[in-house]
Amino acid sequence: MLGFLERPVVVTADINLNVVALTAVGLLSRLWQLAYPRAVVFDEVYYGQYISFYMKRIFFLDGSGPPFGHMLLALGGYLGGFDGNFLWNRIGAENALITQARLMLLESVLIFFNLLAVLSYLKFANSQKQRPFSLRWWFWLTLTGMACSCAVGVKYVGVFTYLLVLAVAGVHAWHLIGDRTLSHVRVLCHLLARAAALLVVPALMYLLFFYVHLTLVCRSGPHDQIMSSAFQASLEGGLARITQGQPLEVAYGSQVTLKNVFGKPVPCWLHSHQSTYPMIYENGRGSSHQQQVTCYPFKDVNNWWIVKDPGRHPLVVSNPPRPVRHGDIVQLVHGMTTRFLNTHDVAAPLSPHSQEVSCYVDYNISMPSQNLWRLDIVNRESDTEVWKTILSEVRLVHVNTSAVLKLSGAHLPDWGFRQLEVVGEKLSRGYHESMVWNVEEHRYGKSQEQKERELELHSPAQMDVSRNLSFMARFLELQWRMLTVKSDDSEHKYSSSPLDWVTLDTSIAYWLHPRTSAQIHLLGNIVIWASAGLATAVYALLFFWYLLRRRRCIRDLPEGCWLRWVLAGALCAGGWAVNYLPFFLMEKTLFLYHYLPALTFQILLLPVVLQHVADHLCRSPLLRSVFGSLVVAWYSCACHVFNTLRPLTYGDRSLSPGELRALRWKDTWDILIRKY
């Protein structure tokens, strides 16, 4: 492909014919029987689900990547993923890529943008030599930036290609700085243009994706729970329906529910109920036998607490309401049982290094109540800030022991109904979100009598003030949650390790016909797979050989040819390396399809190396013709393998068990054979 770009203008028509022909073959092989199978295949389960969320405009969260890829699919444009593949389709017989491209998954979209980025950068570098700052120059430069941001927007692994392009651009820019024929101003213009196109444009596009994403999905959905209360309140339906119209400022007498900000292992609310801690635990330690305080992951009337002024008796909001401020001392009264939130020097049930938190019951055993808490607003702007619903993140610091109310994350045994343990952390070592709480539901208490109050607690809260979160705040939070959300690293039947990928020691069964043994597998064309690996090795060897010889001033290649050779290697071998090596550091479940972006770069290297060997290493015509015939033999071999594996790629033909067994060239391929 690089060869194409470097050729003089005269042959353009010819190349275009080439491209058109390749496009046709590429499209044909990918669109062949596209509508088949009419069943959900593998991860299509997830992506299809996400798309329907878009259609219904429901909020969701996916840890694997930013929303652009999903949106693109949802646009009904899954053709967008296919027509991209023509660019590199010199070898039109790559089974794995075809399988992947045919189905509705994100990888093909990612590969498309990766290659588009590299291609447009090459175009840009070419026009740099001819006419900088021309229209063409600008077009390719911006296209590079846009393709990069699209790649990142589809999946986070796109970042690696982006970094590669940036690195190459950086090296070129450094040469530009060293070019003393250019004036200072001109160099500055060059640098600024690059910075704008390769840094600013992608960042803006990335923000744009999220903007569209957040405007599209404005209804609450199944992943609400992961987000903060404030974020949830900004979605239609769900929490917003409840919180809409709540009073903003928490006052003495307010009835509130307190949600833990950390929300791990599950999001939950501060809770208490009639049951007490068992007198003696299983391991023989004793407890205070007072009323349990836990964290409960479901909405419940027992999650309501009343903020009380220690100096005054009433449990209602006075008129005008007296707001609670940072640093104030408060008591928290459990709504249904009217007991006070309390902690004391008794070891907590599961975390013996922390204090037990209870609702105080007076047994007359000279254990005084210690129920004063100091309010510490973590995200305050001034020291007299008022405690606000949803927005304020607060710590409750115990006045007597300076312990901090904390969610320990442990599940209580049966006596605690498997709810989560809440403790008083004595050695508060710095800030941790498990010690931070925020008010989620809130209303001003009106009834002084316990019976009336219980009724009041059961009724839904409704009042009116509305608030909205700014886009940037929502973006930052969503971004943070996406990067930190942990997928449970469950073992999967088809998961594999990066080492298996190079040697194609693994396959993924995507689909099996419900009755016959027609099936679709993600399986590479082993000839191409192997030769691509070989090409990389040959490239590396030759590169180091030339490099060492150049260092001793022995120039095998003319200068221009050497530079092209280096650039091709940097982009193709580099593209392979940056898309492959980082997977060794990742701890999530990995599949064969994660390797495909790297593979495409590796395949691009193949023609480069072949061309190079033919041009520079085969000196005599005889050698050259031998080499040429070898290439033809190799190519037909690849086509043959493609043809043999075709039933597994398209899944259009049912094979007998014997045939399937014959196709199982490696023991590690999980080809499904029905037992009759």
Whole-angstrom distance, CA of residue 36 vs CA of residue 647: 13
Q: Are 84 and 21 in contact (CB under 8 A)?
A: no
Q: What dihedral angle (degrees, nearest 10) is formed by the CA atoms of 191, 574, 561, 612?
A: -160
Rounded to whole angstroms, the Cα distance separating 369 from 543 reads 78
Alpha-carbon span 162 to 128, nearest angstrom? 20
Q: Nearest to residue 495, comparing CAs of 598, 577, 600, 583?
A: 583
Establish if 491 lies at the interface with another protein (CB under 8 A): yes
Residue 178, interface with another protein (CB under 8 A)?
A: yes
Q: Does 483 bind another protein (CB under 8 A)?
A: no
Q: Is the dihedral of CA 321, 322, 325, 331 positive or negative?
A: negative
From the list 71, 407, 578, 609, which residue makes contact with another protein (rule: CB under 8 A)? 407
Indicate which single residue of 381, 383, 464, 587 sits in contact with another protein (rule: CB under 8 A).
587
DSSP codes of every residue in 16-52: HHHHHHHHHHHHHHHHTTTT---S--TTHHHHHHHHH
Query: Which region, judged by CB under 8 A, interacts with another protein, from 148-156, 423-431, 438-446, 561-569?
Result: 423-431
Amino acid present at 3: G
The residue range among 140-148, 150-158, 464-472, 550-558 that interacts with another protein, by the rule CB under 8 A, is 550-558
- Told to check if 581 binds another protein by CB under 8 A, we report no
Burial of 676 (0-12, 13-18, 19+ CB in 10 A): exposed
Q: What is the 3-state secondary structure (H, E, C) of 631-661?
A: HHHHHHHHHHHHHHHHHHHHCCCCCCHHHHH
Q: Strand, helix or coil at 110? A: helix
Cβ proximity to another protein: between 50 and 546 the closer is 546
Tell me which of 45, 279, 585, 622 binds another protein, using CB under 8 A: 585
Q: Return the residues of window 271-290 that contact another protein according to CB under 8 A.
A: 282
Q: How far is the CB of 553 from another protein (least distance, A)?
A: 6
For another protein, the binding residues in 434-473 under the rule CB under 8 A are 434
Least separation, in Å, of the C-beta of 668 and another protein? Answer: 9
Interacting span for another protein (CB under 8 A) from 33-41, 194-202, 260-268, 366-374: 260-268
Q: Which of residues 365-404 bind another protein (CB under 8 A)?
A: none
Stretch that binds another protein, among 23-31, 177-185, 285-293, 632-640 (CB under 8 A): 177-185
| Out of 9, 13, 130, 184, the residue judged to bind another protein by CB under 8 A | 184
Instruction: Return the residue of 311, 430, 514, 560 that touches another protein, per CB under 8 A.
Output: 430
Task: Return the number of the residue (446 or 661) whose C-beta is nearest another protein.
Answer: 661
Q: What is the C-alpha separation between 73 and 84, in angstroms, rounded?
A: 14
CB of 430 to another protein, least distance (A): 5
Q: Residue 509: CB partners within 8 Å, gap ≥ 6?
A: 494, 519, 520, 521, 670, 671, 672
Tokens (6 digits) for 427? 């050695």
Residue with smaller CB distance to another protein, 222 or 413: 413
Residues 18-77 that bind another protein (CB under 8 A): none
Please choose, out of 192-200, 405-413, 556-564, 609-617, the segment that lies near another protein by the rule CB under 8 A.
405-413
When asked if residue 265 is in the footprint of another protein (CB under 8 A), the reply is: yes
Minimum CB separation of residue 123 from another protein in Å reads 26
Shortest Å distance, C-beta 174 to another protein: 7
Binding of residue 490 to another protein (CB under 8 A): yes
Residue 177 binding another protein, by CB under 8 A: yes
Q: 505 or 659, CB closer to another protein?
A: 505
Q: Which of 451, 493, 619, 675 is in the footprint of another protein by CB under 8 A? A: 493
CA geometry: angle at 314 spanning 313 and 318, to 5°? 130
| Nearer of residues 308 and 406 to another protein, judged by Cβ | 406
Task: Find the part of the chain contacting another protein (CB under 8 A) among 259-267, 304-312, 457-465, 614-622.
Answer: 259-267
By CB under 8 A, is residue 507 in contact with another protein? no
Q: Residue from 294, 408, 579, 649 that binds another protein (CB under 8 A)? A: 408
Q: Alpha-carbon distance 291 to 494, whole Å?
A: 49
Burial category of 619 from C-beta neighbours within 10 Å (exposed 0-12, middle 13-18, buried 19 and up): exposed
Contact region with another protein (CB under 8 A), list: 80-88, 130-138, 171-179, 603-611: 171-179
264 sits near another protein (criterion: CB under 8 A): yes
Provide, rounded to whole angstroms, the least separation between the CB of residue 363 and another protein: 28
DSSP secondary structure letters along 316-358: S--SS--B-BTT-EEEEEETTT--BEEEEEEE-SS-TTSEEEE
Q: Shortest approach of another protein to residue 497 CB, angstroms?
A: 10
Give dist(CA 214, CA 202) in Å, integer: 18
For 446-482, letters b (16+ CB in 10 Å) and e give eeeeeeebeebbeeebeeeeeeebeeeebbebbeebb
Choose one: 16-24, 138-146, 240-248, 486-494; the region binding another protein (CB under 8 A): 486-494
Using CB atoms within 10 Å of the CB of residue 603, give its burial: 0 to 12 exposed, 13 to 18 middle, 19+ buried: buried
Determine if the peptide bond prior to 132 is cis (ω within 30°). Answer: no
Q: Count the neighbouring beta carbons within 10 Å of the beta carbon of residue 227.
A: 22
The candidate with the shortest Cα–Cα distance to 428, out of 401, 410, 400, is 401
Whole-number minimum distance, CB 438 to another protein, in Å? 17
Candidates 180-188, 237-245, 297-305, 628-636: pick the segment binding another protein (CB under 8 A).
180-188
Q: Which of 8, 10, 130, 180 binds another protein (CB under 8 A)?
A: 180
Report 529-548 residues binding another protein (CB under 8 A): 548
Number of residues in contact with another protein under rule CB under 8 A? 30
- Non-local CB neighbours of 462 within 8 Å, separated by 6+ positions: 245
And the tokens for 90? 């010199």
DSSP codes of every residue in 52-99: HHHHHTB----TTS-THHHHHHHTT-HHHHHGGGGGGTTS---HHHHH
Site for another protein contains 675 (CB under 8 A) = no
Using CB under 8 A, which of the segments 39-47, 324-332, 406-414, 515-523 binds another protein? Answer: 406-414
How many whole angstroms separate alpha carbon 296 and alpha carbon 287? Answer: 21
Closer to another protein by Cβ: residue 187 or 538: 187
Shortest distance in whole angstroms from residue 177 CB to another protein: 5
Closer of 251 and 261 to another protein (Cβ): 261
What's the angle, vertex CA 392, arms to CA 387 and CA 394, rounded to 5?
85
Residue tagged 């590690």 (tokens): 668
Phi and psi at residue 654, in whole multiples of 5°?
A: -85, 130
Residue placing its CB nearer to another protein in the complex, 31 or 177:
177
Site residues for another protein per CB under 8 A: 174, 177-178, 180, 184, 187, 262, 264-265, 282, 406-409, 413, 427, 429-432, 434, 490-491, 493, 548, 551-553, 585, 587
